Amino acid sequence: MAGVQDRVVVVTGAGGGLGREYALLLARHGARVVVNDLGGARDGTGSGNAMADAVVAEIRAAGGQAVASYDSVATEEGATGVIGTALREYGAVHGVVNNAGILRDASFAKMTVDQWEAVQRVHLFGGYHVTRAAWPHFREQGHGRVVMATSTSGLYGNFGQANYGAAKLGLVGLVNTLAVEGRKYNILANAVAPLARTRMSEDAAPAELLERLPAEFVAPVVAHLLTDECADTGTVLIAGGDRVQRVAYFASKGVTFTGTPSLRDVADRWSDITDMDGAAVGTNPLA
């Protein structure tokens, strides 16, 4: 199958920002798109149909195929509804883009349990629930594509985003295992950390920097991960501005000790342990 033609792709949080761009591009390339959006505010409060409806109308006006879903990804029930929309309307689901997201920023010292939990529920639990609802269908048809929206806040850390960073890197951990478990069923899972001017990022960087980060730039990268042409799995990318990069964990050569090292031994060899000269992409030594 060429590109994403006729593929049924669910894009969560597609009522605005990056998700809207993903949905528009996928539909332009012949995908049948489930435009999911709860339709709330940036902090996840509120809900409504208008955002998802507007994107569906835009796609249909351009001759594409799309259907709206207003469920929240944050619950098992909601996620079942999202995938159910794909199955009911189009009889299949071939790909999910777990893009829905909210922010509840606060410094770690001031962050409440509610702020922590609300962000985990949408990002980490959302990615989990929606993928889990699609997984049996992917296995059965011997084809599935998962794209997780991760973030440089998770990959590198960012002030005020302990909740968000933890959730976003949690999704990379989920991708790593989905890649291992999905491969034999032709289910591939990857993650993209976008950099884009949206309502979510509007106060995250200076206006002149955001000007150079159009959301549409990220869409072809996400779409490529949904095609048969892309055989990657477990890959993490950063996409935004004028650049697309792969990000990976590297392991240093390290130090081999004969027997259990003493506290002194570790301190004495610390610079060798942490020296990244000659480091290589890390793999799970227990797998």
- Would you please indicate which residues are annotated as catalytic (active-site) residues? 164
Selected binder of ligand NAI within 162, 194, 219, 225 (CB under 6 A)? 194
User: Scanning the structure block, which residue is given the tokens 């259907």?
Assistant: 67
The token duo for 152 is: 């440089």
Select from 185, 186, 205 the least CA-distant residue to 195.
205
Selected binder of ligand NAI within 85, 131, 151, 190 (CB under 6 A)? 151
Shortest spacing between CB 246 and ligand NAI, in angstroms: 16
Amino acid present at 11 = V
What is the distance between the alpha carbons of residues 44 and 107, in angstroms, rounded to a whole number?
19
> Considering only 71-79, 181-189, 242-250, 276-284, which stretch makes contact with ligand NAI by CB under 6 A?
71-79
Residue number, 152 or 252, with CB nearest to ligand NAI: 152
Selected binder of ligand NAI within 198, 227, 233, 235 (CB under 6 A)? 198
Is residue 72 part of the contact set for ligand NAI (CB under 6 A)? yes
Task: Give the alpha-carbon dihedral of 156, 157, 158, 159, to 10 degrees.
Answer: -150
Shortest spacing between CB 1 and ligand NAI, in angstroms: 27
C-beta separation of 151 from 168 below 8 A: yes
Select from 219, 220, 6, 28 the least CA-distant residue to 95.
6
For the purposes of burial, counting CB atoms within 10 Å of the CB of 119, is it exposed (0-12), middle (13-18) or buried (19 or more)? buried
Selected binder of ligand NAI within 4, 66, 74, 226 (CB under 6 A)? 74
Is residue 39 part of the contact set for ligand NAI (CB under 6 A)? yes
Residue number, 42 or 139, with CB nearest to ligand NAI: 42
- Angle of the 126-141 helix axis to the 76-90 helix axis, nearest 10: 40
Selected binder of ligand NAI within 64, 95, 101, 234 (CB under 6 A)? 101
Shortest spacing between CB 240 and ligand NAI, in angstroms: 7
**CB contact burial 63-78 (16+ within 10 A = b; e otherwise):** ebbbbbbbbbbbeeeb
Shortest spacing between CB 196 and ligand NAI, in angstroms: 4
What is the distance between the alpha carbons of residues 146 and 272, in angstroms, rounded to a whole number?
38
Is residue 16 part of the contact set for ligand NAI (CB under 6 A)? yes
> Considering only 15-23, 226-234, 253-261, 263-271, which stretch makes contact with ligand NAI by CB under 6 A?
15-23
Which residues of the shown chain bind ligand NAI in the complex (CB under 6 A)?
A: 12-13, 15-19, 36-40, 42, 44, 51, 72-74, 99-102, 122, 126, 149, 151, 193-196, 198-201
